[in-house]
């Protein structure tokens, strides 16, 4: 790298701020072309130098102008930071210097480039959703100093667990640097998930203290075991939030990166106060640069995009949005795994089934309909559609990522133990989180020592996991659901950086874990990426499942018998094709 550049088209002056300890030296940046260019430039300092930016100009937030030279700003293109973000009201106060609060970017040297190879992950495999800190924080075999880091994923004990489950790829919840939402510190809470990033490429030093090299080495270790790596990235908003939020990077340099309504107000299609504007070529270019960086320098297999509908807004959703073509045309990205969370909260935000044909999509209809079937309020015909790849949504393209539970919502165990959410610990009077979870408590809300209740829950967990592992398409399992992880009924545990989200390895249900491992071994030996043929489905009596059998009222749903000691499911149980002899979906 020979220079530092930053986009700040409406700034009057931009300073490159170099730090030697707490001593700051400011170097004026230049704007070539007599101010006609949007980017400012300065010679790059030596690798390892800590630096930030300051931008001078008008302070008129009502006009989208947030220039305040007292605010130290993070380079939007930073790869590494020297410390984590910490929230303070001073970050929003005009004229208050924030050099003591904001991380400094670390000037990179020449980054190692990973040879471009085809992704290890293939459609139809098992994605294992991982909160890096939650997975490893209490792992008894991982050294204390390594717990909660990306490097811990390469520990032999963690790798052995992933291999036991025949994991095709780990999907890492955000590992780029984030800041706590401003309402959390007064409550004594911290963001535990990372879905509040500031800049797109900078790794969070709490999770990845070794920076780019740590991520690259961990990816290589997983690849050596045949396990791909998918990064969950947040390009829909940043931690600068609404008009009361902090000035950290984009807001103080180029606030036009956020989508604005005609009256100048911030559009909030994310529920987080702001929305990145993918109608802006500069925003798309930075996103492409970010994706390319993680492939070129870390070797990742693909990406999952949080609230991905935002990426195709301009402002309305467009199935042929420019970002899709730009990703497909990039030689580093064209063959990567792309997974959409196909919704946001804006107008027309639910877009399941409308992303490009080479993308996968989180299929929340699968989650809801499978839960409803096993709860007893949905029919076998609808279950069959979900088992067979949701052709009613995806047509002939089997692009579904099917799941029973994800980080957002009840865990699988909690979906069988709680009829209502219990989010009081989040400090929002139990108003946050999804109200309808299609869950049921099987006779008692929360923990129980009733043998009959426990038996029902255990049998249902196995039935639902069996359903997942015989389903057509790609499947996803959230870490810990294979052995009964609970969040005590909290279905929005984003603010619980504690034992609620830290996986309890010592007390896990090892029998359930072994059961899931057997299901995973069965699935790994078969190709379930494509839609099954109509003759592939048979009832337990061996007869083919025709339309009449699927819709027969006698086989609608699932019920427990009234006699508790006989607690066995009634109704239809379906085996996958005769050629797929193995676990039952019921």
Q: Which of 181, 269, 306, 364 is catalytic?
A: 306
Contacts 24+ apart (CB under 8 A), 312-317: 312/278, 312/351, 312/355, 313/259, 313/269, 313/275, 313/278, 313/279, 313/344, 313/346, 314/277, 314/278, 314/279, 315/259, 315/267, 315/269, 315/279, 315/346, 316/347, 316/348, 317/348, 317/349, 317/351, 317/354
Are 426 and 496 contacting, i.e. CB atoms less than 8 angstroms apart?
A: yes
Helix (H) or strand (E) holding 424: none
Does residue 6 sit in helix, strand or coil? strand
Does the annotation mark 326 as catalytic? no
Does residue 69 sit in helix, strand or coil? coil
Q: Which two tokens stand for residue 364?
A: 């929340």
Alpha helices in 113-165 (DSSP H): 132-136, 156-164
Distance from the Cα of residue 543 to its chain's centroid: 42
Q: Which of 24, 181, 204, 341 is catalytic?
A: 341
Q: Which two tokens stand for residue 529?
A: 């990426």
How far from 39 is each of 10, 34, 42, 67, 282, CA to CA, in Å?
A: 10, 12, 10, 16, 11
CB-based burial label for 358 (10 Å; 0-12, 13-18, 19+): middle
Q: Quick count: other Cβ atoms within 10 Å of Cβ 261?
A: 10
Distance from the Cα of residue 537 to its chain's centroid: 33
Alpha helices in 111-183 (DSSP H): 132-136, 156-164
d(Cα 326, Cα 68) in Å, to the nearest integer? Answer: 34
Does the annotation mark 562 as catalytic? no
Does residue 77 sit in helix, strand or coil? coil
Alpha helices in 330-396 (DSSP H): 364-375, 380-387, 391-394
Nearest CA to 78 out of 37, 44, 32 is that of 44
Are 555 and 543 contacting, i.e. CB atoms less than 8 angstroms apart?
A: no
First to last CA, the chain: 58
Helix (H) or strand (E) holding 56: strand 50-56
Residues designated catalytic: 306, 341
């Amino acid at each position: 790298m020979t220079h530092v550049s930053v986009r700040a088209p409406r700034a009057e002056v931009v300073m490159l701020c170099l730090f030697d300890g707490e001593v700051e030296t400011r170097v004026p940046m230049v704007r070539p072309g007599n101010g006609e260019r949007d980017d400012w430039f300065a010679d790059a300092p030596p690798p390892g130098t800590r630096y930030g930016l300051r931008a001078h100009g008008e302070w008129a937030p009502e006009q989208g102008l947030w220039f305040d030279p007292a605010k130290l700003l993070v380079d939007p293109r930073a790869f590494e930071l020297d410390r984590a973000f910490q929230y303070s009201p001073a970050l929003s106060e005009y004229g208050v210097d924030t050099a003591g609060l904001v991380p400094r970017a670390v000037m990179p040297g020449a980054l190692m480039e990973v040879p471009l190879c085809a992704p290890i992950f293939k459609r139809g495999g098992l994605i294992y959703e991982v909160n890096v800190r939650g997975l490893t924080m209490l792992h008894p075999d991982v050294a204390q100093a390594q717990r909660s880091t990306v490097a811990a994923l390469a520990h032999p004990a963690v790798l052995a667990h992933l291999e036991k489950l025949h994991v095709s790829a780990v999907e890492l919840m955000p590992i780029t640097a984030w800041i706590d939402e401003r309402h959390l510190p007064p409550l004594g809470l911290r963001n535990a998930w990372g879905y509040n990033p500031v800049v797109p490429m900078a790794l969070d030093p709490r999770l990845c203290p070794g920076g780019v090299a740590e991520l690259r080495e961990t990816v290589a270790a997983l690849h050596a075991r045949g396990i791909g790596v998918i990064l969950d990235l947040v390009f829909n908003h940043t931690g600068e939030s609404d008009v009361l939020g902090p000035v950290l990077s984009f807001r103080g340099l180029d606030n036009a990166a956020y989508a604005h309504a005609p009256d100048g107000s911030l559009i909030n299609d994310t529920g987080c106060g702001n929305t990145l504007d993918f109608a802006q070529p500069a925003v798309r270019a930075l996103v492409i640069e970010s994706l390319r960086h993680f492939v070129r320098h870390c070797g990742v297999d693909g990406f999952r995009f949080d609230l991905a509908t935002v990426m195709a807004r301009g402002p309305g959703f467009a199935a042929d949005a420019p970002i899709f073509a730009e990703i497909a045309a990039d030689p580093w990205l064209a063959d990567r795994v792309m997974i959409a969370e196909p919704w946001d909260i804006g107008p027309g935000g639910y877009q399941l089934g409308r992303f490009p044909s080479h993308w996968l999509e989180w299929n929340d209809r699968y989650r809801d309909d499978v839960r409803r079937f096993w709860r007893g309020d949905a029919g076998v015909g609808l279950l069959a559609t979900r088992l067979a790849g949701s052709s009613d949504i995806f047509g002939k393209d089997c692009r579904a990522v099917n799941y029973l539970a994800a980080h957002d919502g009840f865990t699988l165990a909690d979906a069988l133990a709680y009829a209502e959410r219990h989010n009081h610990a989040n400090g929002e009077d139990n108003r946050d989180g999804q109200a309808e979870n299609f869950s049921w408590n099987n006779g008692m809300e929360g923990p129980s020592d009733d043998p009959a209740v426990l038996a029902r829950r255990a049998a249902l967990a196995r039935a639902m996991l069996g359903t997942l592992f015989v389903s057509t398409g790609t499947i996803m399992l959230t870490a810990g659901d294979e052995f009964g992880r609970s969040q005590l009924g909290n279905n929005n545990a984003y603010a619980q950086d504690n034992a609620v989200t830290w996986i309890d390895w010592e007390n896990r249900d090892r029998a359930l874990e072994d059961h899931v491992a057997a299901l995973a071994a069965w699935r790994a030996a078969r190709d379930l990426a494509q839609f099954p043929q109509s003759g592939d489905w048979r009832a337990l009596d061996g007869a083919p499942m025709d339309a009449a059998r699927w819709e027969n009222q006698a086989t609608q749903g699932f019920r427990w018998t009234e006699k508790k000691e006989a607690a066995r499911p009634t109704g239809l149980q379906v085996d996958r094709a005769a050629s797929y002899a193995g676990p039952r979906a019921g």
